Amino acid sequence: MCTRVVWPDAAGAVIVGRNMDYRRDLATNLWKLPRGVERDDGVRGELRWIAAYGSVVATAFDMISVDGLNEAGLAGHVLWLAESVYGDRDPSRPALSQAVWLQYFLDNFATVAEAVAWVRETDVQVVQLADPASGDVPAIHLALDDATGDSAIIEYIDGALELHHDRSYRVMTNSPKYDDQLRLLAQVEGFGGDTPLLGSTLATDRFARASFYVDRLPEPTSQVQAIASMFSVIRNAAQPFRLPEPGKPDASQTIWQVVLDLTRRRYVFESTTHPNVVWVDLDDLDFSEGAPETVLDLGTKLAIQGGVAGNVGGAFEEGRQLRFLTLDMVEQLGSARKTVTTDAN
């Protein structure tokens, strides 16, 4: 599930591409979230904050931020990692639910370095939440990148934090964990080894191809050319439509792709089922405290014929707020399901 690529030297701009691969539609929408909104950890409400930065985020089921960019040029991307084990809840540590894990960083930090320092200082714990629709419990890791070209990969393996922070960490896919991905990449031709560059949809092969091609992009002469170049790389790492493979949620088709210009703060979105390319320039949006949360409903607006395309900054609409999934919501839903099952019996 998913590929993320950073191009830190695109003629003075930092360009990031990302594929979202999943076996079913995530009902993704784009949200504009202003500064000044109060949020909590989604676990027991012990960690609370007020958003210092506004952001544009792509959501899953309007309950979790899975990708996004804030007005300071910090971006984040949630990807699947089957090896993720966050450990039993330790009440002595601050916690973040998976639903707000990414959003916390977009709300509070301008750079990867700031975010990494906070993670190391607090020893924050991530808490899994079951998907209310399917009952699946996501296993995810997180990539952060910023307008300086910095990058970090945050994973939890066997209950322990594994944090990789360096500008050279430009590509992330899925299994195996990041240390092992780097070791396997060193065996590929062009990275020190003699294994040919392979073309399968395996996460290791996508990792190698993305690493290979992003290193060979030509110097762009415009923002449009830089964005197109990154689309060419992530499309090479995309996964075709196919029947899902049992027990392999990370081996799924690409359902949407995004390219982000972190320097000029442009967020570009393309659905693979409704392939109109749309974008929003964050400089055109009102992120001031007290401004409304607004949403671009991609399910209804992103039609192939008659739908929106191009710059959609003016197409975001008011009327509802983003409600992040919380532990309480999951527990209440679980209790309701048990009640229904008991009554049926």
Please, what's the b/e burial string for 220-247 (b: 16 or more CB within 10 A of its CB; e: otherwise)?
Answer: beebeebbebbbebbebbbbeeeeeeee
Rounded to whole angstroms, how far apart are CA atoms 88 and 66? 23
Share of the chain above pLDDT 90, in %: 82
Q: What is the mean pLDDT of the chain?
A: 92
Rounded to whole angstroms, how far apart are CA atoms 69 and 187? 34
Catalytic residue among 2, 116, 140, 260: 2
Q: What is the pTM of this model?
A: 0.94
State pLDDT tens for residues 65-98: 999 999 999 999 999 999 999 999 999 999 999 9
Catalytic, 2? Answer: yes
CA torsion sign for 176, 6, 59, 235 is negative
CA 52 to chain centre: 20
**Which contacts of 308-314 are long-range, i.e. CB under 8 A and separated by 24 or more positions?**
308/276, 308/278, 309/276, 309/277, 309/278, 310/277, 310/278, 310/279, 311/278, 311/279, 311/280, 311/281, 311/284, 312/30, 312/278, 312/279, 312/280, 313/280, 313/281, 313/284, 313/285, 314/284
Which letter does DSSP use for residue 170 in this model?
Answer: -
**pLDDT category of residue 249 using cuts at 50, 70 and 90:** low
State pLDDT tens for residues 98-154: 999 999 999 999 999 999 999 999 999 999 998 877 778 899 999 999 999 999 999
pLDDT at 204: 96
Instruction: Pick the more confident residue, 252 or 187.
Output: 187
